[in-house]
Structure 1
């Protein structure tokens, strides 16, 4: 097993405490009303979500996720959204120094939060730890990878939260993502150095793609490609979503935090957490491959990257700096640095 380490204890003072959808403390969020375009940033060490108003790039609210002593929500990680709901993976350990590592028998949580009022809708215990929790493209299901040597993906009904399918994948699966057209799911198997490709309709594995050393996620591109960040391999494997073949391997020279494709600008961004930088590549049509375009500073522990729908602005979480960088995509410069909670990692935008 690669890079085994244990997460640290949660520190910091929370604004208020909530446990699950039946906890009375959830009523304390009733005054929260995020009825504006916002970025939601998961702060792992604080177990909170910072809400950033996009029009002003200011933190307008902090949503607490901490449970009771018997139901701790520790180290929430990556976040996705669907029609007013936020889905969060809760592995229960610190991944800020890299996504690898787990202890056999550790459990995780499936957490669903109302994006408008911050109330916890569902807090479901899982058999094994999970990097992320994500709605299916049509919103009827919730898919959760299980980080275990006997790798599995659990599929839940999004209305009843009943388990409906269990899909066997590779060893120690990390992130699960969907293709741009929603027909395929991709699971990065860290200990297999592979990506499992799942037919969303049939819930069957249709292909297993060999990639680099210790893949963490296959990140969706709007160009018919998936971009796999290989942490130990220090590379990006570019998978053709039609053929399931690796069309290009981009050697980085650093451990990637995440890969994010900006289809509007035809750029591929990769965060460099150890150097606090983001590198970007541009598409060379003549050569049919990605070429390195440049690099710029964001903050210590640069990690997740998300773009606004017009492609002009990016938000980058800096885990060690406890900040979010707002980046002007046109000139690749940081226009503002926003203080958030401790060890921010996942970020998603709701318009």
Structure 2
């Protein structure tokens, strides 16, 4: 989404005032012992739980900054969400600013990472950060949590996932956004929005092994099941496809719209990309030469954003419609919309 200067208007100020109020009632303890989708609702500072067996919303967690569950201050615009490998803990990035309108020039001087129990929905730990982040992700072995620092002096902070102490600081490009890992866990990828590059980091050595030029304003190098990474270039209106073995861009898919998220489905060999301004999701099919050809698009709802796969179903968060769309990937049609909180952004699935 296009670079912007965040303007504090009265409505936003009023929301901040109400969102920062102390909670007075205790948060109920959940028992999420079923396959579930966890959806971060940025504006309402909540996490919706969807039962993947029934595709119904079954729980709601108020996201606060206090370990005493159900008390403390509401988080200000929590963003992306990841599970650890054993799927018993969740990490949520809290950049402290509304990123639904763009990933550019507005920054906050502080941010947070919230760690939650994935079964009970209760707070475990809050990590305070010196600068705005975009996501917080566990390493493939589950021993560390990595999070970006979105300023010109770009960094990735590495925390111990048991003690939550800072272990390493890795220098990357300007305004790094999403941090991701390849499907085989061999490399980490950091999207440097202001540099139009991807930094590739060896997880063990913490050394940058390559810097790859991509399109304008990359937000994330999203993990594909085909040993490739799919980079959504917001201002470039394209997807750069990176081969993990060669660390080269092997294809650039021109979109004709500003992407919000890109996801490759290995079984159907299709690339799915959300179009938030049109409220659609598009798909491309690989031809016999392995190149992507645009097939079609379908309507999800306003502000289509993140994508998560379960078998041949896709779950798409719709930021402006406060819903999650369920898509049948084989029939290429929407099955239903599930109502969630305000401005849903990140989504992760537990099986």
Q: Give the TM-score normalised by the residue count of structure 1.
A: 0.92
Gaps of 5+ in 1: 19-23
1:196 is aligned, of 195, 199, 211, to 199
1:207-246 matches, cutoff 5 A: 207-246=210-249
Measure, in 1, the Cα distance between the counterparts of 2:154 and 2:18. Answer: 35
Question: Match for 1:77 among 76, 79, 82?
Answer: 79
> RMSD over aligned Cα, in angstroms?
2.1
Alignment-derived partner of residue 299 in structure 2: 297
Provide the residue aligned with 2:43 in structure 1. Answer: 45
Contact kept? 2:131, 2:151, Cα under 8 Å: yes
2:65 touches 2:114 (CA, 8 Å); kept in 1?
no
Residues 11 and 45, structure 1, Cα contact 8 Å, conserved in 2: no
Confirm whether residue 95 of structure 1 aligns to residue 99 of structure 2. yes
Query: How many residue pairs end up in the alignment?
Result: 339
Q: What does residue 314 of structure 1 align with?
A: 314
Aligned to 1:148: 151
Shift of 1:11: 7.2
| Aligned 1:1-351 pairs, distance under 5 A | 2-6=3-7, 8-9=12-13, 10=15, 28-30=27-29, 32-67=30-65, 71-82=73-84, 83-103=87-107, 106-284=109-287, 286-308=288-310, 310=311, 312-351=312-351
Question: Could you say if the C-alpha distance between residues 314 and 12 of structure 1 is closer, same or farther in structure 2, counting changes exceeding 3 Å?
Answer: farther
1:52 and 1:70 map into 2 onto residues whose CA distance is 25
CA distance in 1, matches of 2:18, 2:336: 26
Q: Is the 8 A contact 2:22 2:72 kept in 1?
A: no
Q: For the residues of structure 2 that align with 1:118 and 1:71, how far apart are their CA atoms? A: 16
Distance 1:62 1:119 in 2: 11
Unaligned runs of 5+ in 2: none
How far does the alpha carbon of each residue in 1:20-68 deviate from its partner, in whole angstroms, 9 at most, with x for none?
xxxx96x6333x1111111011000000000001111111100000347
Contact preservation (8 Å) 1:86, 1:114: yes
Deviation at 1:183, TM superposition (A): 1.1
SS in 2 for 1:122: strand
Maintained 8 Å contact 1:226/1:241: yes
1:259–1:305 Cα contact (<8 Å) kept: yes
User: 2:27 aligns to what SS in structure 1?
Assistant: helix
TM-superposed CA distance for 1:194, in Å, is 0.3
